[in-house]
Structure 1
Amino acid sequence: MCGRMATTLPHDAMAQMFAATPANDLPPVPNYNVCPTVQVATVTADEGLRRLRPMRWGFIPHWYKKPNDGPLLINARAETIAEKPAFRSAARERRCLIPVSGFYEWTKTPDDARLPWYITRADGAPLVFAGVWQDWDKGDEPLTTCAIVTTGANETMGQVHHRMPVILSPDDWPLWLGEAGKGAARLMVAAPENALVFHRVDPAVNSNRATGPDLIAPISH
């Protein structure tokens, strides 16, 4: 799964990377502790136009009467996304890219202490997750919400967690966004071995209130 992220890439760099028109209300960067329910930058495509736009991380199904009417859906499992009522329409019609600098996962010690790890691409490039999105309009203000698509971890990532986000290469972006026809389902697989690297970081990140670049700095273990 993926439950916490870091985003450090400036908005203009993201817009250039995706050839996308940026919105005026993108979330501030850098943010070294992106938590569920906050706004994240995403990329969508509509009739040939890519947009870099904010969405609430935490997908709200259309039948929720309020945002917390049910489970917080921050991830969508690739294995069931096409059948789950919450996600199946979005999987067909509303896919997005979610660019981040890295993400966190946790392992546990025998005494149940939570040890955080920070995961990035081995080549230093931004990570681009497969996402799905949905508009929800039953509250005082409409919300555009998203979830990250996850799949079973590859062997490398399996040392930290049994699942991982679906990570897309630039060649995959047009297909996932619906610009290159059908067949996006074949992209929902684990990243190649050795595509990711990870290191232990300070348990300070266990708090969703923690901030600053020290959160991603390696520590000895």
Structure 2
Amino acid sequence: MCGRFAITLPNDAMAQLFAARPANDLPHVPNFNVCPTNLVHVVRSSDGARRLDALRWGFLPHWYKTETAGPLLINARAETLADKPAFRAACRERRCLVVATGFYEWTKSEDGQRLPWYIHRHDSGAIAFAGVWQDWGPETARQRTCAIVTTAANKKLGNIHHRMPLILEPEDWALWLGEAGKGAAKLMCPGAEEILEFHRVGRAVNSNRASGPGLIEPVQGD
């Protein structure tokens, strides 16, 4: 799964990397502790043009009467994405990329304490999570929401968690965004074996109120 991540790339650099037009209301960066319901950086494609937009992390199906009418859908499983009522239309028509520079997962110590790990590219570059999006709410209070697609963890990350975000490389972005025709289903499998590395970080990030670059600094134990 993916329940917390970091984004440190400047907005203009993100727009350039994804060849996308940036919106005026993009979230503040850097943010070393992006949490569910926060606005996140999302790349979408419409009529052949890409946009870098701010979307609420937490997908709201159209039948939710309120934001809390059902579970908070921050992740969508790749294996059932095309079949689940909440996601199947978005899987066909509204795929996106959620931009990050790293994400957190947790293991447990022998005494049951949650031990956080920071997972990132070995070159410290941007990560593009596969995502789906959905407009929700009345026209006067419309929200654009998203979920991150997850898959079974690859062998490298399997010792930390059995799930991981679906990470797409640049050569796959156009297909996922629908710019290169059909066939995005073939992208929904574990990958990123060679590009990711991880290290233990301090338990400060266990709080969703924590902030600052110290959250991703390596520690031996705390």
TM-score bucket of the superposed structures, by smaller chain: over 0.9
How big is each residue's C-alpha offset from its partner over 1:168-210, in whole Å with a ceiling of 9 and x where there is no partner?
0000000000000000011111114232100000100000000
Match of 1:143 in 2: 143
Is the CA contact 2:167–2:192 (under 8 Å) kept in the aligned structure 1? Answer: no
- 1:43 corresponds in structure 2 to 43
Correspondence for 1:169: 169
Amino acid at match of 1:79: E
Which runs of 5 or more structure 1 residues have no equivalent in the other structure? Answer: none
Q: TM-score, normalised by structure 2?
A: 0.97
Q: CA deviation at 1:123?
A: 2.5
| C-alpha distance in structure 2 between counterparts of 1:32 and 1:87, whole Å | 28
Aligned length: 221
Separation (CA, whole Å) in 2 of partners of 1:171 and 1:150: 19
Contact 1:3–1:36 under 8 Å retained in 2: yes
Matches within 5 A, 1:1-221: 1-138=1-138, 141-221=141-221
Q: What's the CA shift for 1:138?
A: 4.2
Deviations along 1:68-100, whole A, 9 cap, x unmatched?
111000000000000000000000000001110
Cα 1:140–1:157 shift into 2, 3 Å: same
Q: Secondary structure at the match of 1:16?
A: helix
* Bigger mean CA deviation after superposition, 101-110 or 132-141: 132-141
Distance in 2 (CA, whole Å) between partners of 1:63 and 1:196 is 37
Unaligned runs of 5+ in 2: none
Distance 2:192 2:78 in 1: 16
**1:25-75 CA-partner distances (Å, limit 9, x unpaired):** 000000000000010010000011100000000000110000111100000
Is the Cα contact below 8 Å between 1:65 and 1:139 reproduced in 2? Answer: no
SS at match of 1:32: strand
Task: Give me the whole-angstrom Cα distance separating, in 2, the residues matched to 1:139 and 1:3.
Answer: 29
Q: Percent identity?
A: 65
Cα separation, 1, equivalents of 2:139 and 2:218: 42
2:68 alignment partner AA: N
User: How large is the RMSD of aligned CA atoms in angstroms?
Assistant: 1.0
Deviation at 1:109, TM superposition (A): 1.4
TM-score when scaled to structure 1?
0.98
Contact 1:106–1:161 (Cα < 8 Å) also in 2: yes
Report the CA distance shift for 1:21/1:139 in structure 2 as closer, same or farther (over 3 A): closer
Question: How far 1:159 sits from its partner (Å)?
Answer: 1.3
- Write the distance in 2 (CA, Å) between the matches of 1:140 and 1:72: 22
Secondary structure of the residue aligned to 1:69 is: coil
Contact 1:116 1:203 in 2 (8 A): yes
- Which secondary structure does the structure 1 equivalent of 2:80 belong to? coil
**1:166 shift after superposition:** 0.5
CA distance in 2 between counterparts of 1:70 and 1:169 reads 33
Contact 1:66–1:139, Cα closer than 8 Å, also in 2: no
